[in-house]
Amino acid sequence: MEEKAKKTFYVTTPIYYVNDVPHIGHAYTTIIADAMARYQRLKGKKVFFLTGTDEHGQKIEKSAVEKGLTPQELADQVVVRFKDLWQRLNISYDYFIRTTEKFHQEGVQKIFKKLMAQGDIYKGSYQGWYCVSEENFLSEDVPLEPEGYKLCPDCGRQAVLLEEESYFFRLSAYQQALLDFYQSHPHFVRPASRMNEVVSFVRQGLKDLSITRTSVTWGIPVPGDPRHTIYVWFDALHNYVTAIGYDWNPELFATFWPADIHLIGKDILRFHAIFWPAFLMAAGFELPATVYSHGWWLKDEAKMSKSKGNVLDPYFILDKAGTDALRYFLLREIPIGLDGSFSHEGFVHRINSDLANDLGNLVQRTLTMAVNYFEGQLPPPAEENDADRELARQFDETKTRVYEFYDDRSLNRALEEIWFFLSLTNKYLADHEPWKLASLPEKRERLARVIYQALCAIRGASYLLYPVMPGTSEKIWELLGEARQPSSLLTSGLDFYDYQRGENISRAKAIFPRIDLNEFISETEKKTGVKTCPAGEMKAKEKKMEYITYEEFKKMDLRVAKVIAAERVEGTKKLLKLQIDLGTEQRQIIAGVAETYSPEDLLNKEFIVIANLQPAVIRGIESQGMLLAAEIENLAIIPFFDREIPPGTKVK
């Protein structure tokens, strides 16, 4: 994705509800945002990194009552927990907004009034299924029972059909404008698969949105009609503009709006990719550049939830492994859009192998040699040979790729590249065996060169690592006697040899102690009272790989097919009927891809089909083949080709 030439960078996290204390999921979003903010600062950009808390609404009101507190008292208590965790995680936010702050409430009311005056908000009545016990309208997608009523998904009780007066936002009027915007800004939502999901949702039609409640008292009052409070999502989304000065600091606002990136979890994509741009269009604001939706962290394959008792306490992990180990693990383990599963084995393995071995040992070994052989003062090294030059060249290549990945927000790929370079450095040491050179007095200068190269490599890698592991980079600089500040990273070009030959090198301690898996598991179990899935069971769960022979594979007739006509299968959400050209013949297939692609998206596209699959009848229509697609959370993603290929070409 192209980087904007602008000199500022504005990144936000969602604002977290205060009915719950922070857990790993919240930490994840905030760590991603922090790494992005730190990287942009290194590039010399003026950064505003916003996080905060979402403090209004029925959920908070209810939770406060249960705890015998006022909602404000509850919010005040939980905010301390969030701020404390962000400090432990080394989060460099510029502002922590609370939606109960006066300037925010006034900003929201002002926008509400403006939209009301111009007719984008109107008064009407809201009819919906209401759960008396939960005091809540059910979301519209709760299905109707055959008996004609709905059941509350939270408590299972029968809901009643209720009508209440409400103000509505004229969302339906923005349907076309949104579709036009998505078309002209195809990277607005990332990853791309999520963009498709948003577009198909909007294409299905948007209804006006009820944005006030008379049943909720803990909220911002509607200006001029205080019986109503403003719906918590209308209130919360506007934090992104009120925090940076809307209505109180025009200069700050002009500097940072529109946001470069709103980081969110996939569960709140519609609010950010549909409602938020529509609100902004109505208010006459520019739209943010990107909404980046990340996946969920699961625990031992199951979604974390309070009721299952499998919510991971970040403090426990921080006490055990340290801030940077947690930051590294969360960002390295998965690409930003996918779900990740937190297992004790996976975590301990990553820490021990990547951090204790690859990085920690490299630093410790190299510094120990510099201290033991040269008392921490390297003499002038011998001339470089080809292998030395090759290591420096590899660093330059790594650096270029790491910057590209950081620019593209592919943090896990950036880390992979850094670790690949660390493995090359470890190999360089193994190949040149400085411990052997140390016993040969005539090789002193060569020894100094080998250690110097390794020190330069460590130093270079430590700068590249800084956005993700700032504490570790700082520790390494201190050990290396490195006087520079990270702010010089990109402005100075980060030259491999820019290290003022180690004059004050310290003996390293283990910067990442190894973690003992069994101890880690038993301590977790003691703390949570929940049994962890043991290693053996986890392994057994992993399906045994069953190999097929090449002969078996060859039985499949895989062909390139081109779509010549496409339509939806009536009465279904998922199915498309496609007429395909297979070179020598035309066929019809039924494909479960309608939630990701519209018929127009697929017209003239080419993909792979299994041509000799036994025909099947799906919803009464014959399907003569099957297309290949990846499935991410029930969405089918078709692999397309990067050039045109004659239909019927064999794929093998």
Count of residues interacting with ligand MSP (CB under 6 A): 19
297 makes contact with ligand MSP (CB under 6 A): yes
Closest contact distance (angstroms) between CB of 235 and ligand MSP is 9
In angstroms, give the least distance from the CB of 21 to ligand MSP: 10
What string marks each residue from 215 to 254 as x (binds ligand MSP by CB under 6 A) or -? ---------------------xx-x---------------
Q: Is residue 191 exposed (0-12), middle (13-18) or buried (19+ Cβ within 10 Å)?
A: buried
Please state the closest distance from residue 303 (CB atom) to ligand MSP, in A: 7
Query: Minimum distance from CB of 439 to ligand MSP (Å)?
Result: 53
| Residue 476 touches ligand MSP, criterion: CB under 6 A | no
Round to whole Å and give the CA distance between 117 and 282: 11
Question: Mask: binding to ligand MSP, 178-217, rule CB under 6 A, as x and -?
Answer: ----------------------------------------
Please state the closest distance from residue 259 (CB atom) to ligand MSP, in A: 12
Return the range that interacts with ligand MSP (CB under 6 A); candidates 296-304, 402-410, 424-432, 450-458: 296-304
Give the nearest distance from C-beta 311 to ligand MSP in angstroms. 8
Complex with ligand MSP: residue 342 or 428, whichever CB lies closer? 342
Which residues, in sequence order, are bridge partners of residue 165?
Answer: 125
Question: What spatial distance separates the first Cα and last Cα of the chain, rounded to whole Å?
Answer: 32
Residue 6, token pair as written in the block: 């602008």
Q: Transcribe 445-512 into DSSP letters.
A: HHHHHHHHHHHHHHHHHHHHHTTT-HHHHHHHHHHHT----TTHHHHTT--TT-S---SSPPPPPPSS
Contact present, 240 and 12 (Cβ < 8 Å) = yes
Instruction: Return the residue of 10, 31, 49, 54 that touches ligand MSP, per CB under 6 A.
Output: 54
Please list every residue from 581 through 640 that binds ligand MSP, using CB under 6 A.
none
Joined tokens for residue 569: 């299968």
Instruction: Read off the DSSP letter of residue 442.
Output: G
The stretch among 23-31, 213-221, 281-289, 325-333 that binds ligand MSP (CB under 6 A) is 23-31
**Using CB under 6 A, which of 47, 264, 451, 594 touches ligand MSP?**
264
**Closest separation in Å from C-beta 380 to ligand MSP:** 52
- Is residue 29 part of the contact set for ligand MSP (CB under 6 A)? yes
- Expressed in percent and rounded to 5, the helix, strand and coil fractions of the chain are 45, 20, 40
Determine if 268 is a binding residue for ligand MSP (CB under 6 A): yes
How far apart are alpha carbons 62 and 158 in whole angstroms?
Answer: 20
Cβ at position 12, least distance to ligand MSP in Å? 8
Check residue 427 and report its DSSP letter.
H
Tell me: does residue 292 bind ligand MSP (CB under 6 A). Answer: no
Instruction: Identify the sign of the CA torsion 546, 354, 261, 408.
Output: negative
Cβ of residue 35: shortest distance to ligand MSP, in angstroms?
Answer: 15
3 state SS of 166? strand
Measured at the alpha carbon of residue 343, what is the angle toward residues 338 and 345, in degrees to the nearest 5?
125
Residue 211: count of CB within 10 angstroms of its CB: 24
Distance (Å, whole) CA 449 – CA 446: 5
Structure tokens at 603: 């017209």
CA-to-CA dists, residue 53 to 79, 83, 147, 212, 378, angstroms? 7, 10, 41, 20, 51
Rule CB under 6 A: which of 423-452 touch ligand MSP? Answer: none
| Residue of 288, 382, 345, 377 whose CA lies nearest to 532 | 345
What residues from 301 to 320 belong to the interface with ligand MSP (CB under 6 A)?
A: 304
Question: Are the C-beta atoms of 119 and 170 separated by less than 8 Å?
Answer: yes
Contact residue for ligand MSP among 26, 213, 399, 562 (CB under 6 A): 26
Of the listed pieces 25-33, 35-43, 151-159, 410-418, which binds ligand MSP according to CB under 6 A? 25-33
Q: Does 28 bind ligand MSP (CB under 6 A)?
A: yes
Q: Closer CB to ligand MSP, residue 267 or residue 622?
A: 267
Site string for ligand MSP, 2-21 (x = CB under 6 A): ------------xxxx----
Q: What 8-state DSSP symbol labels residue 20?
A: S
Interface with ligand MSP (CB under 6 A): 14-17, 25-26, 28-29, 54, 236-237, 239, 264-265, 267-268, 296-297, 304
